[in-house]
Structure 1
Amino acid sequence: MASLLHESQIAWARPYSTDYPAGEAHDLETQLKKRIEGEVRFDDGSRALYATDGSNYLQVPIGVVVPKSIEDVIATVAECRRHRAPLLARGGGTSLAGQCCNVAVVLDFTKYLNQLIDLDPVGKTARVQPGIVLDWLRTEAERHHLTFGPDPSTHNHNTLGGMIGNNSCGTHSVMAGKTEENVLELDVLTYDGLRMRVGATRDDEFERIVEAGGRRGEIYAGLRRIADRYGNQIRARFPNIPRRVSGYNLPDLLPENGFNVARALVGTECTCAVTLEATIRLVWSPPGRSLVVLGYPDIYKAGDHVPEILKFKPVACEAIDALLVENMKIKGLHPRDLKLLPNGRGWLLVEFGGEDRQDADNQARRLMDSLKKHRDAPEMKLYDDPGEERLVWDIRESGLGATAWVPGQPATWEGWEDSAVHPDKIGPYLRELCELYEKHGYEGALYGHFGQGCIHTRITFDLLTAGGIANYRAFMDDATSLVVKYGGSLSGEHGDGQSKAEFLPKMYGPEI
């Protein structure tokens, strides 16, 4: 891919190896303490705290900076550039593919740069700082029957900055799309110190930016060259599925998509710029909700029925399988709540939203009436108690916790935990995926956002022995080939990070 910079311009941007020199780190710490008002934490304890995230990785950072202001961020980036230190902006630390840990200076926005700057209920937009927790925003938006559509299960502590870096999704992205589709503008800072506000770009605006020259003009011209040179490959190779999260959002640079630089930056995992502020889209939050749970003989049959269910336009369509439920029983999670599920060994949790409860219930009953006509109709239960509904949702949100470190069972790990295919292909894909489990001697509960074709799982990888790691590598080769065969995405939610990025050429080819 054509570089946006000439060779002479990027020499300073190359960081040291993973063994960042201790003397250089000390000098960087000293300069940062002189220049910024925020906290500079290069002590061993702080570095240890930020050495892990929600993934399999442990990498000790050079140091941690907790900025109090945008000026602190700008100064920190400048000092990192001067000392050739890698930089990593971190949200709530919930990343599952290793995006939140690295040998870098970690920027943590959560303590100070966490404000809701503005909420416009008429225009249905909000301006936020990157450290704001999703639920803080949603609480304020709900006062106006609005919400930010993407809602990962970590919504009570993940941040908007992290969601932008990761292109996060969640249960209700069925009704609102990925984070990418809900970002209007970004205020960003590049590693070489350029601050700019980006979004969709009209042709006349693009011409003005390029004609003005400077670093911004150079970047925009370079991005346009990418779109022009690789446009046909981008159109052909990027899967047209709801949960294509892997790779950069290059389709957003195409002319038919408005040359939207903000959306193109969503999901870049802090490899291109640091987000200082975001203007985001809010959507209507239906005040009336109804939940119907469908019980199937197995998770494959549940997957087969998803296309039929989506015709009724639910606001959520989630899945859990029998192994996940068994794990919950072993761990004593929600023992009484599990009795709320209808009979089955694979379940779909289908939520409808309306102007009021009756409206939502009517939508749910229309689905149930249609499914009853099928020979293989599932067991069905429509809940009329909001408290019971919340308990059922708690079961689904406990998915990751239920499958991690089950007593008496082999340890399970991330690594292939969020692949995605088109919803029409869930059943066949799951059957072949489980054949791979058997081939490699693995086991893993299946759950996830079936309404958008995203499959969650934790697998019994052996990551502690040489033979186990070799088997893991062989499985990843097979699994990535399988999802590409189905026209899917390596990642449907958690991003590529360190665990999947090496396999991106399978999806996009060597040039892209």
Structure 2
Amino acid sequence: MRAPLTSLVVHLAELAPGLRVETGPGATGPYAYDASNYRVPPRAVAFPRTAEDVVAVVRACRETGIPVTARGGGTSMAGNAVGPGVVLDFSRYMNRILDIDVQARTARVEAGVVLDALRSATALHGLDFGPDPSSHSRCTLGGMIGNDACGNRSVRDGRTSGHVVALEIVTADGVRAVADHTGLRAAEPGDAEAVRRVARLEADLKRLVGEDLALIRTELGRIPRQVSGYQLHHLLPENGFDVARALVGTEGSCAVVTAATVRLVAT
């Protein structure tokens, strides 16, 4: 049985005193819908400022049995950004461009960065982010990673998964980790428990792939726009066990993305 909402709010106040959490129909009503026809009122909306705030929400919801939905710009067309539990709105505060490396042609951004904001910043250096969905003026990078967005130039630039270098995530049990083309590692290497839990998760992923090698090789990644389901083919040995790319398109069902390092293209 799910815990009362008041218990969740109190628990969050203990875990993250500065976290803003709103309840009641006036606050949660706008989050009951996205660009789809679905209407699912959440129990509360949280506005994280840091990855630690996200950890607090995930842990509190895990302990109280309340689901979590990560939300960017709310441009999803299949109910991807609505849920009955706690909605994490990244667009209000976690919307900073953390770094642009012109030489490496990469940018590190928080999940709530709007695509056009990133494009405006990178344009000063003659660079751009390839995927360009029609909602570019309001969709966030976190949302694009969630649904593996593409756009009008997808024939040339492909999907978002082809431009992700690394993802900073929070796992379902509230551990911060980094996923990239080499696998999965704890974001805080000095935290022995986090290192152990992330290592176990990586081992589980490798075992999953090892047990289903033939099926993954023959059924997944066969066509350029095959975006339905989990992209487990990125975890194949011949593809380098790229956990970051495998997480793209999972809609927050495997981990919550807090930040990402993405590859840029020349304008």
Q: Which residue of 1 aligns with 2:6?
A: 26
Determine which of 100, 121, 125 is the counterpart of 1:119.
100
Equivalent residue, structure 2, for 1:83: 64
Residues 65 and 150 (structure 1 numbering): CA distance in 2 closer, same or farther, change over 3 Å? same
The answer (yes or no) to whether the contact 2:181–2:243 under 8 Å persists in 1 is yes
Task: Name the SS of the counterpart of 1:65 in structure 2.
Answer: strand
TM-score (norm 2): 0.92
1:147 to 122, 128, 133: 128
Q: Distance in 2 between matches of 1:187 and 1:38?
A: 20
Verify the 8 A CA contact 2:55 2:175 in the aligned structure 1: no
Tell me if 1:55 matches 2:36.
yes
State whether residues 29 and 42 of structure 1, in contact with CA within 8 Å, keep that contact through their aligned partners in structure 2: no
Matched with 1:271 is 253
- Can you list the C-alpha shifts for 1:176-204, whole angstroms capped at 9, x where unaligned? 211111000011111211111111127xx
SS of 1:50's equivalent in the other structure is helix
Residues 150-229 of structure 1: pairs in structure 2 closer than 5 A: 150-201=131-182, 214-229=196-211
Residue 251 of structure 1, aligned match among 197, 214, 233:
233
Which residues in structure 2 correspond to 1:383-394 (within 5 Å)? none
Report SS of the residue matched to 2:33. Answer: coil
Once superposed, which parts of structure 1, at least 4 consecutive aligned residues long, lie more than 3 Å away?
A: none
For structure 2, which runs of at least 5 residues remain unmatched after alignment? 184-193
State the SS of the aligned residue for 1:226. Answer: helix
Q: For residue 223 of structure 2, what is the aligned residue in structure 1?
A: 241
Counterparts of residues 482-493 of structure 1 (less than 5 Å): none
d(CA) in 1 for partners of 2:241, 2:221: 19
Query: Distance between the aligned counterparts of 1:260 and 1:266, measured in 2?
Result: 11
1:69 shift after superposition:
2.0
Instruction: Name 1:92's counterpart in structure 2.
Output: 73
Count of paired positions: 256
Counterpart CA distance in 2 for 1:80 and 1:191 is 10
- Residue in 2 aligned with 1:103? 84
Q: CA deviation at 1:144?
A: 1.5
How big is the shift at 1:281? 0.3
- Report what 2:187 is aligned to: none
Pairwise CA distance, 1:239 = 4.9
Work out the CA distance in 1 between the residues paired with 2:221 and 2:264. 26
Do the aligned partners of 1:115 and 1:128 also contact (CA within 8 Å) in 2? Answer: yes
Return the structure number with greater helix share. Answer: 1
The reply on whether 1:282 has 2:248 as its aligned counterpart is no
Q: In structure 1, how many angstroms separate the alpha carbons of the residues matched to 2:17 and 2:33?
A: 25
Q: Deviations over 1:136-168 (max 9, x none)?
A: 000111112211101100000000000111111
Contact 2:221 2:231 in 1 (8 A): no
TM-score (norm: length of structure 1):
0.49
1:38·1:69 contact (CA, 8 Å) conserved in 2?
A: no
Opposite residue 196 of structure 1, the aligned amino acid is A
Deviation per residue, 1:481-507 (Å, 9 max, x gap): xxxxxxxxxxxxxxxxxxxxxxxxxxx
Sort the Cα spacing of 1:68 and 1:123 in 2 relative to 1 into closer, same or farther, 3 A: same
Q: Distance in 2 between matches of 1:135 and 1:46?
A: 27
- How far apart are the structure 2 equivalents of 1:73 and 1:178? 27
Identity across matched positions, percent = 46
Q: Which residue type is aligned with residue 30 of structure 1? A: V
CA root-mean-square deviation:
1.6
What is the CA deviation profile of residues 323-374 of structure 1, one whole-angstrom value per residue up to 9, with x for unaligned ones? Answer: xxxxxxxxxxxxxxxxxxxxxxxxxxxxxxxxxxxxxxxxxxxxxxxxxxxx
Contact 2:220 2:231 in 1 (8 A): no
Distance 1:124 1:50 in 2: 35
Instruction: Give the partner amino acid of 1:147.
Output: D
Q: Is 1:36–1:76's contact at 8 Å kept on the other side of the alignment?
A: no
Displacement after TM superposition at 1:229 (Å): 1.3
1:138 aligned residue: 119
Code of the residue aligned with 1:78 in structure 2: it is R
Task: Indicate yes or no: 2:19 matched with 1:38.
Answer: yes
In structure 1, how many angstroms separate the alpha carbons of the residues matched to 2:122 and 2:60? Answer: 37
Deviations 1:388-443 (A, max 9, x none): xxxxxxxxxxxxxxxxxxxxxxxxxxxxxxxxxxxxxxxxxxxxxxxxxxxxxxxx
State the structure with bigger RCO (CA 8 A, min sep 6), 1 or 2.
2
- The residue matched to 1:117 in structure 2 has which SS? strand
**For the pair shown, which has the larger CA radius of gyration, 1 or 2?**
1
Return the letter of the residue paired with 2:131: P
Once the two structures are TM-superposed, the CA of residue 39 in structure 1 deviates from its matched residue by: 1.6
Contact (CA 8 Å) 1:86, 1:103: kept in 2 or not? yes
> Which amino acid counterpart does residue 163 of structure 1 have in structure 2?
M
How far did 1:106 drift?
A: 0.3
Instruction: Please report how far the alpha carbon of residue 72 of structure 1 lies from its aligned counterpart in structure 2 after TM superposition.
Output: 1.5
